Structure 1
């Protein structure tokens, strides 16, 4: 509870909870406006509209006790975002299984339709979302509350930073998901929020699917991004969820980080090294950040990229140690990288920690 708003609420949490309950029972407006700010997430600018903490408590209860139990069971298993037990790892495992199934049938021959919803959250039409909520929930008071939260976003769009908005955004294209899997019936289909794919052996079939999906999107007020929506030959590889994915000659499915994510981490390390030298950050904070990135990379086929990033990390902190003394030295032991077996089908693993050489 490091935020002052959280501390103030928890100081008198019983009184605050009773006040929220009375406001809801008496039909008072609980919306208190938004705290708007921007942040960069994986190289993309996000416009955040966070709610005040008392309203966030109400929205949390609304989400977990009404929206999730009513809406999540209607979603297909290939819908991977913002659902307990799912996420990017789940989405990538599902995609790898779909690619493996395709290889067993057709080898590397075939195509994948990659789709993206343009400026998804900012362009979500309110009426289809309201209709979906009204059909899923039975209590008219809960329906009215969620409709009020949707209207508070403006005339169109749902803001990032609100849990009910995340659930509604995940479920909004649910009609498209069921239409694709039950009517179009491609070999494989998956969606992660505003990114989706279809796999099939025929390019012409996927082009027809794209046309029909575009019509369904128009009915829901969703616009496809023409720059990112395309049909790609599987043998050439493709990028999905910031990962580069392709078959080897033997049918092994390789998942690598895209080049932009590697470049972004290199720039981030150099910037954090300057912040450590200026006393803005501590080496321990940088280490935690780097180990977090490294842990994500260990799930991918990124052995060489991690070794190169380790070398940059050590180089930066060796220079800081020479210039600034012990306070700039990393705190852990050596990063031990196992030799990567060039002919094996699995990426080599690495143990965590930082180089002792950087502390000398």
Structure 2
């Protein structure tokens, strides 16, 4: 009985997590029309082993890059958050510090900063020569073997089950059999079966087959867009992280999703490491290095990573990333330039958007660019009329 009550509490908590940033979507509003009834029904389906993943909506997005997205039904999103709340506290301590994607307090900026840190450390602050090897996995999400993924998760959970109190829910542990049941349902679900396709077939023109679940091998692929897919991708490549750090003994290493780097003073060591990594991915994880995304170069020549270029004593934003940010600022500028007055709420949202972009630019050599943006645009009046300390920090 106690476990049942804790599960119901967890389902409600997962619902509140799932609705963040999803308010007023049709899917979410439909679910909330009979909120308590739907949550209790979901709880009973999970408790009695009747839960099955529903139909997804598939569509194409073109920005920042062209991708195939599978959007889960809101009911399934609740389950994704429930499973994430169970698994994330268990696996988070297992991940290496230099795994940056989809983790609290980390991200692309942290990845850029850590690359610079590793280069400085390996070169004794740019006084010694060193090399950077950058690698990428071809069609990563579409190539993940679901059975291998589940075996990795199950093996770890069963091996360390004694650490968890099965009578306690997300406040300290979880019911092992319940978590394994939900993991099986989510991992082995094929979102292409019975999915609702939004848009036309022409939307898929230009999308490589390696980027589509419709072309994935049987039993392979995770849908981009699911919260659980982000966590599962880190769990899957944690095997690679441990191999590189422990077996190869690479000290200066970092990974963002499937984009990773190694820094070392010996070029031949990195070339040998590349072959060992290639074999490990092929034999253990059924993955392949992208043949056109293998870069080996001296650190002094500048290293492009996650939208930035790290050079000795400075870092710049690559032109493609800068163009995208400037376009977003132009869109905000157009909104600020409308004749209709903006409500206080919209002004605050507008200022938050400007602060976000300019705050990001602050981490690169862009001082004059930031001043130019705020001096020349119609955003300036809105920005200056909403004074706060964060605004001042962006120009320092």
- The answer to whether the superposition gives a TM-score over 0.5 is yes
Residue 301 of structure 1 and its aligned partner are, at CA, apart by 2.6
- Is 1:53 aligned to 2:104, yes or no? no
Distance 2:373 2:266 in 1: 40
TM-score normalised per structure 2: 0.72
Structure-2 residue corresponding to 1:64: 85
Q: What are the Cα deviations for residues 125-164 of structure 1, in whole angstroms up to 9, with x where unaligned? A: 2121111121133434432321221222353211112121
Q: Report how far residue 108 of structure 1 moved.
A: 4.4
Q: Who is 1:144 aligned against?
A: 181
Q: Residues 335 and 351 of structure 1 are in contact (CA less than 8 Å); yes or no, is this contact kept in structure 2?
A: no
- In structure 1, the residue corresponding to 2:59 is in which secondary structure? strand
Shift of 1:243: 0.7
Structure 2's unaligned 5+ residue stretches are 1-22, 159-175, 192-218
Residue deviations 1:303-358, cap 9 Å, x none? 233344445x52xx49xxxxxxxxxx94232899xxxxxxxxxxx96449xxxxxx
Aligned match of 2:122:
102
Given candidates 226, 248, 257, the residue that maps to 1:184 is 248
- Residues 335 and 59 of structure 1, relative CA distance in 2, 3 Å threshold: closer
Compared with structure 1, are the counterparts of its residues 182 and 6 closer, same or farther at alpha carbon in structure 2 (3 Å cutoff)?
Answer: same
Instruction: Say whether the 8 Å CA contact 2:245–2:251 is kept in structure 1.
Output: no
Q: In the alignment, is residue 2 of structure 1 matched against residue 24 of structure 2?
A: yes
User: In the TM superposition, what whole-angstrom CA distance separates every residue of 1:101-146 from its partner, at most 9, and x where no partner exists?
Assistant: 1232872411011111122212212121111121133434432321
For residue 210 of structure 1, report the CA deviation from its aligned partner: 0.5
CA–CA distance in structure 1, aligned partners of residues 270 and 386 of structure 2:
46
SS in 2 for 1:132: helix
Equivalents in 2 of 1:286, 1:157: separation in Å?
38
Give the aligned length: 321
Q: What is the CA-CA distance between 1:271 and the residue it aligns to?
A: 5.5
Matches within 5 A, 1:105-144: 107-138=127-158, 139-144=176-181
Q: Does 1:331 align with 2:331?
A: no
Report the alpha carbon displacement of residue 206 of structure 1 after superposing the two structures with TM.
Answer: 0.3
Question: How big is the alpha-carbon RMSD for the aligned residues of Structure 1 and Structure 2?
Answer: 3.0
SS for the counterpart of 1:61 is: helix
CA deviation map 1:194-244 (0-9, x unaligned): 111111011111000001001111121222122222111111011011111
Q: Distance in 2 between matches of 1:82 and 1:115?
A: 19
Q: Helix, strand or coil for the counterpart of 2:315? A: strand
Specify the alignment match of 2:39 in structure 1.
Answer: 17
Residue of structure 2 in register with 1:357 after alignment: none
- When the two structures are superposed, what TM-score results if normalisation uses the length of structure 1? 0.79
Post-superposition offset of 1:279 = 8.3
- The whole-number CA distance in structure 2 between the counterparts of 1:332 and 1:76 is 40
Work out whether residues 70 and 136 of structure 1, in 8 Å CA contact, stay in contact via their aligned partners in 2: no
Note the residue ranges of structure 1 that are not aligned, 5 or more in a row: 319-328, 337-347, 353-360
Q: What's the counterpart of residue 196 of structure 2?
A: none
